[in-house]
Amino acid sequence: MADQTITEDELAEALETIRHPEPHDGCGSCRAEAGKIFARVAEHREPEYEPGQLYQSAAGVPYLRLDGLARPWLRIWPTGDVQAYDEAAPLRPLRKLVSEGSQAAKLRHGDLRDLLKARTKVPHSAAVDLAWDIIKLLEAT
């Protein structure tokens, strides 16, 4: 896939080319409009969700963000069970949870280990280690 980023200068140049196909010294209104477009996008852009962090939906549903998986969200059920979800599953916006106690205590190691083995195709020993690493990470947050 081609790079999907664009700079404000590139957008301004594209607007100038579309609106003023003949050679000219630049268009201040095109530059100003590019700036307004960038500001609008920044205001409404979804935040980056950091891997290893806990987030909560407006409905109070906790999710753990994972890195590099096809299903990067783990929903943590009140029972401590976990379930993997696709990128679009949690309803946005999510708020980052700050530790008020151990969320990890609610997370059962065996369920997390089994989920990691099933979703990532890692060997049993690696899933065990990764599950403990995630729980330690949750305890540290």
Domain of residue 24 covers 8-44
Number of domains in the chain: 2
Q: Report the predicted TM-score, pTM, of the whole model to 2 decimal places.
A: 0.44
What is the greatest pairwise CA distance in the chain? 67
Tens digits of per-residue pLDDT, 65-110? 888 777 888 888 877 778 888 877 787 778 877 655 455 555 666 6
120 in a structural domain = yes
* Cα dihedral across residues 59, 62, 65, 69: positive or negative: negative
Residue recorded with tokens 């009140």? 78
In this structure, are 62 and 89 located in the same domain?
Answer: yes
In this structure, are 33 and 96 located in the same domain?
Answer: no
Tens digits of per-residue pLDDT, 12-65? 888 888 888 887 776 778 889 988 988 888 777 766 888 888 888 888 888 888
| Three-class SS state of 21 | coil
| Three-class SS state of 39 | helix
Residue recorded with tokens 């997370």? 107
